[in-house]
């Protein structure tokens, strides 16, 4: 088998390399999955750079939190899966053409789905949906605001919010993405040009947002905190700026603005089987309707992981970068 590893932190295109090993053997309750598609997310690049909040305990480490694969070996006691089943691995370390997973961490992929879209089905759409439904109680007509709105998570937030009857303010740094966001259902798109963001949001909406979603950190968190209503909530789920989150004491103390974090891996780590089933059923239904359709800019064989991560780090991309396993589907 082959897997991507990094032995120290730094530029992902320089740190990442391919390691060849013997195929792993599943133990009791485990399955071996041959990954055919692997996703590259900002968190993966930040982890290699040493800037992600949850760093691997030891190095070398393998990145990757999204994949589509096929079960090709079973450990003793596996009862819900069989060899040949297509699955969507849950966990980390998925930039490998073979991985060992507990059976419950290998939910079946939707029947007849596109492998690439299925690989992208869980991480970003699940993050978007759970932030809209699990953080605060929202009702139709409520406003939310988010930065990095042209990211894959951001676009899923817009689509789900539109279905839920929520109104969205969407902050981006590029004017050329506004049309696509409006086609997703965005109500307001604001180009960040260094203006007073709280004032810009207030002038664009009929009511102050109840919820803000922050993928950037640093001063961007403070701007969102100033923009939400009294007792509103800012949810931090990304660290794109690499800066410590800031919140003005006036908003924290006198307006009771709440600052929370969201990490999908932790949700999966603590969710029971029924919650996981419900989430996957929801995402499968949305995938079948095309609501989760994600633009893909390029695909690279796993052997070309350095070129892939360099491409993923470029500014101005208009789609995801994927890794493909050697047994390409």
Q: Residue 161: is it exposed, middle or buried by C-beta count within 10 angstroms (0-12/13-18/19+)?
A: buried
- Phi-psi region at 317: left, alpha or beta (left = phi > 0; alpha = psi -120 to 50): beta
Question: Which residues participate in catalysis according to the annotation?
Answer: 52
CA distance 105 to 87: 9
- Strands lying side by side in the sheet with 167-172: 188-191, 167-172, 143-146, 211-214, 233-236, 258-261
Contacts 24+ apart (CB under 8 A), 303-307: 303/2, 303/18, 305/4, 305/16, 305/17, 305/18, 305/95, 306/13, 306/14, 306/16, 306/17, 307/13
Helices (H), 165-294: 178-184, 197-204, 219-227, 249, 264-270, 273-288
Instruction: Give the list of residues 6+ apart from residue 314 with CB closer than 8 angstroms, or none.
Output: none
Q: How many CB atoms lie within 10 A of CB 295?
A: 12
């Amino acid at each position: 088998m082959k897997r991507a590893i990094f032995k120290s932190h730094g530029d992902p295109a320089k740190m990442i390399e391919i390691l060849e090993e013997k195929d792993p053997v599943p133990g009791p309750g485990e399955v071996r999955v041959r990954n055919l598609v692997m996703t590259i997310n900002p968190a993966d690049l930040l982890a290699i750079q040493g800037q992600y909040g949850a760093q691997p305990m030891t190095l070398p480490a393998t990145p990757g939190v999204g994949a589509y694969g096929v079960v090709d070996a079973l450990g003793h006691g596996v009862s819900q899966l069989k060899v040949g089943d297509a699955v969507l691995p849950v966990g980390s370390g998925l930039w490998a053409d073979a991985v060992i997973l507990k059976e419950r961490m290998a939910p079946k992929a939707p029947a007849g789905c596109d492998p690439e879209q299925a690989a992208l089905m869980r991480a970003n759409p699940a993050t978007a949906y759970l932030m809209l439904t699990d953080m605060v109680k929202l009702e139709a007509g409520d406003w939310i605001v988010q930065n990095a709105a042209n990211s894959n998570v951001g676009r899923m937030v817009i689509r789900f919010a539109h279905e839920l009857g929520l109104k969205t303010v969407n902050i981006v740094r590029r004017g050329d993405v506004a049309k696509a966001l409006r086609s997703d259902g965005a109500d307001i798109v604001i180009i960040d040009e260094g203006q007073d963001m709280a004032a810009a949001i207030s002038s664009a909406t009929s009511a102050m947002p109840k919820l803000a979603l922050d993928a950037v950190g640093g001063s961007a968190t403070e701007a969102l905190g100033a923009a939400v209503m009294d007792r509103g909530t800012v949810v931090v789920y990304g660290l794109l700026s690499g800066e410590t989150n800031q919140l003005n004491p006036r908003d924290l103390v006198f307006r009771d603005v709440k600052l929370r974090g969201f990490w999908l891996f932790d949700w999966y780590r603590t969710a029971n089987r029924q919650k996981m089933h419900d989430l996957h059923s929801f995402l499968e239904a949305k995938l079948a309707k095309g609501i989760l359709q994600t633009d893909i800019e390029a695909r690279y064989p796993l052997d070309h992981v350095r070129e892939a991560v360099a491409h993923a780090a470029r500014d101005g991309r208009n789609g995801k970068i994927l890794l493909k396993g050697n047994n390409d589907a």
